[in-house]
Every structure is written in structure tokens, then in C-alpha cells.
């Protein structure tokens, strides 16, 4: 079916039903699995024009880690390409072909790490999800933006599929190709809206920050995020939970299987609260996956039960930020607690004025850090420098340095005189 002409410039008629996109305009391409085919497509990309749409499919929930199992690209003059990064683990030829060109991704911070792992690193970026956030769109998922801004409907039934499957089914490949089908058109509409709103420069700074961001730091005590762990309060039980979590993680990494498929969180919690090393008596370990590695789980439980009291984990998690938990601020530092309340009110008010989400004007972490450790002396220049050190972009510093100086220097005054948007 030929692709309808996409809307540009003006948002689609939201009262009309979106037109389903069911087939890529040139059909679904074959998956590129050979070096020669990859080189040919890279040459076509280099000869193309305009931004290039890029997407990646992972196997979250099925495989260990966040590797890419399919990479999709589309550029005017080159068409759509589907590349298997498992067969072709080095895709740096794509980066070379597109050096200096703008890549269009949706929620780029999710895909950039797995793309970098296969040698694909953009020079410039346009993130359609981030653009939607800066425009304060009510829904910024790709399907929602495409429906509202272009008047098309994208099916998302394969978004959580096991993309490590080989061969990939034809309908999955069609779905993957459609994900980049109108991404550049969406980019053009959002860019025009950003320019009209005076936010295009903000977006450029945000996109550059996404590109420059280092890999996220490893989580501190990731085992504490086990679903249902709130029910485990005894320190010895916490030690069992921790030991089992790490045993499962090692087993999952060796098998290249998502940890939850090796052993569900519910089984870890059940073992932690049971107080026994006879895991066979627990229903959660009678499943085939639980029995298959029973010796590993039993050894992990025994190891935790034999730990001296001095090595047991605390009930409260360590603080990865170096800051105390916010609920303790009033007791530890009443002044900092007052400053934080004033900072939050300023950010809420300015975000409302600028029509952006609060977290996109200044992240909650940055708000806490500048309230806990304000610059000394508290001057507009000092606040501007501190914000920049934290990672705030120039546009954020421009709109926040002045009002935050007052908030940090006279928090009680700010709380009294600045209306709270949440109270209106």
C-alpha cells in the first residue's frame, strides 16, 4: 500500500482517526547479514540526503544485558535498511558513511549505548521524545507523537518481542521497518514547533548533552531493587536475598538469559524469608528453572547464613548520591531542607512560565545537590557556576540562576512570596 503523504508544519487533525501504517513505502527490506551488503548500504547512505532515522531492537526480558539484535536506518535516497548486529558486530562503516550528519532517534539515551557497542556513534542528534518533552506534549511515546503530529498510527505489538529470535518473522521485520518510516517527517514537524516556541536552541543543547553523557554509573546495591524486597526486614534475611541475587546474576550472565527467567524475584524473596537451606521444600523452587540450579541457590543461602553479624547488610540502603535521604533533611540540616523547599518552588514556577516539565528544567537530583551544598557566597555568578558544574545546560542556567540565588540566600522569603503552582 502506498504511504499517504505525511502532514508537515501543522499538527494532524486530532478528531480524525489516524491512518494505519501497515507497509513500508518501498516494502520490507531483507536483513543485511553480510559484510558486502553492509558496505553497499553504507555507500547508499553516504550518497543520500538529509537526516537519517535510526532505531535498535533489543531482547530485554529475554537475554542478559541490552545488546542490539536489529538496527534499522532510513535516509532519503538510500531507503530503509535492516541490519543484524549479531552477524555483523562491527557497524563502524555506518558511522563513517554518516559522519557529520544528523541522526534522528526516539528516546536516544535508550539506544545509544547498544549502538555504540557495535561501532555506531552519531556526530549530531535529534531526539524526537526529548523534543516532545520540551514542547510539553502530554504523551511523548513514538506511536502517540506520530498519531497526533502526522496523523498515522503505528502498531506496537512487537515492542516487547524476543528480538534475539532467528530467523526474525516477516511481520516483526515489517514492524521494525515502520519504526523508522516517518521518523524524519516527525523530526521536521517537531523542529518547526520548537522554533516557533523559541525552544530550538534549548533542544540543541539538550541533544548535545545526551551525546556527551558518559555511561551511567553502576547501581549501588542493585539487589535492593528486587521486587517484593520491602517484605524482607531482618538483616540475616537481607543477606540471603543479596547472596541469591548475585548468584542469579552470575548464572544469568553465563547463560545469556534475563535474570528473571533464571529465577524470579518471588523465589528469591521466598528463600530469604523462609529461614531454611532446604529450598526443595519451597514451592518457588519446584519449577524446572528453580530445580535446574538448585545447588547454586542452596550454596548462596548457606553462604549468607554463615556470615558474621558484622558483614550483614544494613536495613537502609547506601546513598549513591552522597546525600542523606530527603526525609532526614529536616533533622540533619533544617537550613538545607528550607532551601530545598524554596528551590522546588522556584523550579515549579519557572517551568510553568516556560511551558516545560519541571524535570526538564532542572533534574530533581540537581535541585537537591544545590540546596544541600549551595555556593559560598551565594551570588548569581556563583549559582550559575554551580549549576554548570552539576551539568545544567546554558539555557537552564539562564532562566534559573537569578531566582535560585534568592531561593538559596533567603529561602523563607521565597517560600512566602512565590506562589506554589501545585497549590493553585
- Residue 235 pLDDT exceeds 70: yes
Q: What is the pLDDT of residues 131-150, one digit of tens each?
A: 999 999 999 999 999 999 99
- Residue 10 pLDDT exceeds 70: no
Distance of alpha carbon 304 from the chain centroid:
33
**Cα–Cα distance between 250 and 242 in angstroms, integer?**
13
Average pLDDT over residues 170-180: 97
Strands 49-58 and 68-76, by their bridges, are antiparallel
Average pLDDT over residues 232-253: 96
Domains of the chain (ranges; CATH) run: 19-212 (3.30.420.10), 222-311 (1.10.150.80), 326-423 (1.10.150.80)
- Residue 318 pLDDT exceeds 70: no
- Residue 9 pLDDT exceeds 50: no
Cα→Cα distances 18→144, 177, 312, 404, Å? 10, 19, 57, 44
pLDDT of residue 6: 38
Q: How confident is the model at residue 327 (pLDDT cuts 50, 70, 90)?
A: confident
Main-chain dihedrals φ then ψ at residue 301, nearest 5 degrees: -65, -45
Cα→Cα distances 306→70, 277, 311, 312, 374, Å? 46, 11, 10, 10, 45
pLDDT of residue 221: 93
Give one word for 87, left, alpha or beta, with left for phi > 0 and alpha for psi -120 to 50: alpha
> Which position has the higher pLDDT, 277 or 186?
186
pLDDT of residue 1: 31
Q: What's the grid cell of residue 350?
A: 519557572
pLDDT of residue 414: 87
Q: What's the grid cell of residue 305?
A: 547464613
pLDDT of residue 56: 98
pLDDT of residue 321: 61
Mean pLDDT of the chain: 93
Q: What is the pLDDT of residues 336-370, one digit of tens each?
A: 999 999 999 999 999 999 999 999 999 999 999 99
Asked if 122 contacts 99 with a C-beta cutoff of 8 angstroms, the reply is: no
- Residue 13 pLDDT exceeds 80: no
Q: What is the pLDDT of residues 120-129, one digit of tens each?
A: 999 999 999 9
* pTM for the structure as a whole: 0.91
- Our CA angle for 26, 58, 115, nearest 5°, is 80
pLDDT of residue 223: 96
**Cα–Cα distance between 383 and 391 in angstroms, integer?**
12
Could you give the percent of the chain with pLDDT greater than 70? Answer: 95
pLDDT of residue 14: 54
Q: What is the pLDDT of residues 304-316, one digit of tens each?
A: 999 999 999 998 7
Q: How confident is the model at residue 380 (pLDDT cuts 50, 70, 90)?
A: very high
- Residue 7 pLDDT exceeds 70: no
User: Looking up cell 542523606, which residue turns up?
Assistant: 324
**Cα–Cα distance between 339 and 342 in angstroms, integer?**
5
- Residue 4 pLDDT exceeds 60: no
Average pLDDT over residues 369-374: 96
Average pLDDT over residues 171-193: 97
Average pLDDT over residues 242-248: 97
**Residues 6 or more apart whose Cβ sits within 8 Å of residue 124:** 100, 101, 102, 103, 207, 211
pLDDT of residue 418: 81
Main-chain dihedrals φ then ψ at residue 365, nearest 5 degrees: -65, -45
**Cα–Cα distance between 386 and 111 in angstroms, integer?**
30
Say which range, 54-68, 325-339, 361-375, has the weakest mean pLDDT.
325-339
What is the chain's alpha carbon radius of gyration, rounded to the nearest angstrom? 25
- Residue 222 pLDDT exceeds 50: yes
pLDDT of residue 217: 85
Amino acid at each position: 500500500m502506498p504511504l499517504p503523504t505525511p502532514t508537515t508544519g501543522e499538527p494532524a487533525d486530532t478528531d480524525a482517526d489516524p491512518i494505519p501504517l501497515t507497509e513500508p513505502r518501498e516494502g520490507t527490506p531483507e536483513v543485511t547479514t553480510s559484510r558486502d551488503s553492509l558496505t553497499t548500504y553504507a555507500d547508499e547512505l553516504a550518497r543520500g540526503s538529509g537526516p537519517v532515522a535510526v532505531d535498535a531492537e533489543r531482547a530485554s526480558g529475554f537475554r542478559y544485558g541490552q545488546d542490539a539484535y536489529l538496527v534499522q536506518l532510513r535516509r532519503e535516497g538510500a531507503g530503509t535498511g535492516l541490519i543484524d548486529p549479531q552477524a555483523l558486530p562491527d557497524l563502524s562503516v555506518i558511522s563513517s558513511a554518516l559522519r557529520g550528519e544528523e541522526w534522528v532517534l526516539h528516546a536516544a539515551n535508550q539506544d545509544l549505548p547498544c549502538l555504540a557497542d557495535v561501532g555506531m556513534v552519531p556526530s549530531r542528534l535529534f531526539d524526537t521524545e526529548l523534543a516532545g518533552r520540551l514542547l510539553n506534549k502530554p504523551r511523548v511515546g513514538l506511536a502517540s507523537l506520530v498519531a497526533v503530529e502526522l496523523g498515522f498510527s503505528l502498531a506496537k505489538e512487537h515492542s516487547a518481542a524476543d528480538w534475539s529470535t532467528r530467523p526474525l518473522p516477516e511481520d516483526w521485520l515489517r514492524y521494525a521497518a515502520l519504526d523508522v518510516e516517518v521518523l524524519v517527517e516527525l523530526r521536521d514537524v517537531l523542529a518547526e514547533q520548537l522554533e516557533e516556541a523559541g525552544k530550538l536552541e534549548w533542544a540543541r543543547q539538550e541533544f548535545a548533552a545526551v551525546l556527551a553523557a558518559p555511561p551511567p554509573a553502576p547501581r549501588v546495591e542493585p539487589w535492593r531493587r528486587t521486587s517484593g524486597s520491602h517484605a524482607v526486614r531482618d538483616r540475616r534475611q537481607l543477606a540471603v536475598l543479596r547472596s541469591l541475587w548475585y548468584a542469579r546474576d552470575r548464572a544469568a550472565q553465563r547463560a545469556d538469559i534475563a535474570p528473571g527467567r533464571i529465577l524470579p524475584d518471588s523465589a528469591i524473596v521466598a528463600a530469604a524469608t523462609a529461614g531454611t537451606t532446604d529450598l526443595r521444600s519451597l514451592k518457588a523452587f519446584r519449577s524446572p528453572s528453580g530445580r535446574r540450579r538448585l545447588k547454586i541457590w542452596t550454596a548462596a543461602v548457606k553462604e549468607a547464613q554463615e556470615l558474621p553479624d558484622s558483614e550483614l547488610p544494613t536495613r537502609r540502603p547506601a546513598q549513591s548520591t552522597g546525600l542523606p535521604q530527603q526525609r532526614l533533611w529536616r533533622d540533619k540540616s533544617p537550613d538545607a531542607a528550607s532551601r530545598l523547599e524554596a528551590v522546588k518552588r522556584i523550579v515549579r514556577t519557572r517551568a510553568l512560565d516556560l511551558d516545560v516539565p519541571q524535570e526538564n528544567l532542572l533534574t530533581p537530583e540537581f535541585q537537591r545537590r544545590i540546596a544541600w551544598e549551595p555556593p559560598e557566597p551565594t551570588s548569581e555568578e556563583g549559582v550559575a557556576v554551580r549549576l554548570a558544574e552539576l551539568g545544567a545546560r546554558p539555557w537552564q542556567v539562564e532562566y534559573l540562576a537569578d531566582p535560585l540565588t534568592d531561593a538559596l540566600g533567603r529561602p523563607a522569603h521565597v517560600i512566602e512570596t512565590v506562589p506554589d503552582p501545585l497549590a493553585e
